[in-house]
Amino acid sequence: MKNESFSGFHPAVNLAFFAAVLGMTMFIMQPIYLSISLFSSCAYLLYLRGGRGMLRQIGYLLPILLLVAIINPLFNHEGMTILWYLPNDNPVTLEAIIYGLAASVMMAASIIWFNCCNEVFTSDKIIYLFGRVIPAMSLLISMTLRFVPRFKNFLQSVIRTQRAMRQPENVKEKLQQALSAFSATVSWAMEQSIISADSMKSRGYGIAGRTAYSIYRFEKRDGIITVILAILCLGALVPYFTGSMRWDYYPALTGNLVEPVQIFAYLCYSGVCLIPLIINLMEDHKWNSLRSKI
């Protein structure tokens, strides 16, 4: 993976960011907020994965998005502006269509944010953050992740060995081979597990007062970013407290979108969503100027 600057921050900062954007994306159904979120998540994913990775993701998302958008007007008949009638005499309304679109944008944005999250929030960060609160489970995750590639390798070499002894001729034989390979892997894994448990006991697992070591340090810049993030989040939520956040899809599209306080909130929200991208661009710029000086 390329050197991504935002993932260099403390895991808690990463977590706070993703929790904030995912929470606001999933719970604020206001169209401008949704667009900001969708736009910034796409921009970040583009930065993380490049054009090709981004396109692949969108190609995979598009059909689901369409489905989500269509389902709502088919089943929801609220709304004032009736466009036409379905064969079963139920009306299709403009409001329901727009609502369906909004729902699919929300879904797209949240899935793309999750994609970014998968790039930045690697397993060791998850284990670190959980390690403080739920140490046994975080160790469980770590151990599972350790065993998966091992078992997979073993399983695949068993299958190769079987193929060397006998090429499967039909689907039934293929299935039989796969099952017996899996069975061999289970025996082996069970037997290995006894040694793993011995190794854990031998290194003192189970003594009271276990601590969780981490290679992460909370630096000054982590603190600064956290404060900025908190302030921007508050700013983005100001309309909620003043009551101007209200936006209704039914029975008709009602609500204001361009009050001054809202425009301020939009700016703050864009700030929240674009934090990682801005950090990355600043870092890239710094490196470029350093390099040009050499």
Partner 1 sequence: MELFTIQNLTFTYPEQVKPALRNISMELKQGDFAVLAGPSACGKSTLLRQLKTVLAPHGRKEGTILFNGIPLDEVNTRTQVAKIGFVLQDPDSQIVTDKVWHELAFGLESLGEDNKTIRGRVAEMASFFGIQNWFHMEVAQLSGGQKQLLNLASIMVLQPDILILDEPTSQLDPIAATDFLQILGRINRELSITILICEHRLEDVIPMANRLLILDQGELIADKDPAGTFEILRARNHSMLHSMPTPMRIWGSLNWNTPCPLTVSEGRSQLTEWAKENKLTSVPEQGVKIPTVEPCIILDEIWFRYEKETPDILKGVSVKAYPGELLCILGGNGTGKSTALAVLSGVRKPYRGKMICRAKRVSLLPQNPQMLLVKKNVREELMAAFPGKKLQDVADQIGEMVSLCRLEGLLDRHPYDLSGGEQQRTALAKVLLQKPDVLLLDEPTKGVDNDFKLIFARILKELTTQGVCIIMVSHDVEFCASYADRCGLFFDGSIVSIDAPQPFFAGKSFYTTAANRMARHLLPNAVTAEDVILSCGGETFSIELPQRPEKIDITPPEEHKPRKLPLWRKILGIFSGCAALGLLLYTAVMLDLSQLYKESGLIKSKIWVYVLMFALLAVFAASISRQAPVREQKLMQGKLSKRTKVAILLSLLAIPLTIAIGLTIDGGRSYMMISFAILLESMFPFFLIFEGRKPQARELVILSVMSALAIGGRAVFFALPSFKPVAAMVILTGVAFGGEAGFMVGSMTMLCSNILFGQGPWTPWQMFAMGLIGLLAGILFRKGLLYRDRFSLSVFGGLAVFVIYGGIMNPASVLMYQPNPNWQMILSAYITGVPVDVIHALATVLFLWFLSETMLEKLDRVKVKYGLIEK
> Which of positions 103-132 make contact with partner 1 (CB under 8 A)?
103-104, 106-107, 110-111, 114-115, 117-118, 123-124, 126-127
Structure tokens at 290: 């350093």
Spatial separation of the C-alpha atoms in residues 125 and 111, rounded to whole Å = 20
| Of the candidate residues 82, 85, 132, 180, the single one contacting partner 1 (CB under 8 A) | 180
Please answer whether residues 280 and 43 qualify as being in contact, where contact means their C-beta atoms are separated by less than 8 angstroms: no
Stretch that binds partner 1, among 179-187, 219-227, 259-267, 269-277 (CB under 8 A): 179-187
Name the residue nearer to partner 1 (CB basis): 21 or 107: 107
| Of the candidate residues 56, 146, 221, 246, the single one contacting partner 1 (CB under 8 A) | 146
Spatial separation of the C-alpha atoms in residues 103 and 69, rounded to whole Å = 7
The CB-of-292 to partner 1 minimum distance in angstroms stands at 30
Name the residue nearer to partner 1 (CB basis): 185 or 271: 185
| Of the candidate residues 50, 55, 80, 90, the single one contacting partner 1 (CB under 8 A) | 90
Locate the DSSP E strands across the chain.
82-85, 91-93
Write out the H or E segment, with its range, that includes residue 200: helix 171-202
Give the count of alpha carbons within 13 A of 175, CB side only. Answer: 3
CB proximity list for 97: less than 8 A, separation 6 or greater: 69, 72, 73, 83
CB proximity list for 122: less than 8 A, separation 6 or greater: 7
Find the binding residues for partner 1 in span 185-204 (CB under 8 A). 185-204
The CB-of-289 to partner 1 minimum distance in angstroms stands at 28
Find the binding residues for partner 1 in span 36-75 (CB under 8 A). 68, 71-72, 74-75
Spatial separation of the C-alpha atoms in residues 63 and 75, rounded to whole Å = 19
| Of the candidate residues 142, 226, 244, 270, the single one contacting partner 1 (CB under 8 A) | 142
Structure tokens at 128: 């670190």
The CB-of-215 to partner 1 minimum distance in angstroms stands at 6
Stretch that binds partner 1, among 133-141, 235-243, 257-265, 266-274 (CB under 8 A): 133-141
The site map against partner 1 for 209-228 (x = CB under 8 A) is: xxxxxxx-------------
- Listed residue (57, 76, 78) closest to 68, CA to CA: 76
Spatial separation of the C-alpha atoms in residues 105 and 63, rounded to whole Å = 13
Name the residue nearer to partner 1 (CB basis): 109 or 225: 109
Structure tokens at 139: 């160790």
Please answer whether residues 43 and 160 qualify as being in contact, where contact means their C-beta atoms are separated by less than 8 angstroms: no
Name the residue nearer to partner 1 (CB basis): 39 or 188: 188
Give the number of residues in contact with partner 1, rule: CB under 8 A.
Answer: 97
Q: Is 29 in the site for partner 1 (CB under 8 A)?
A: yes
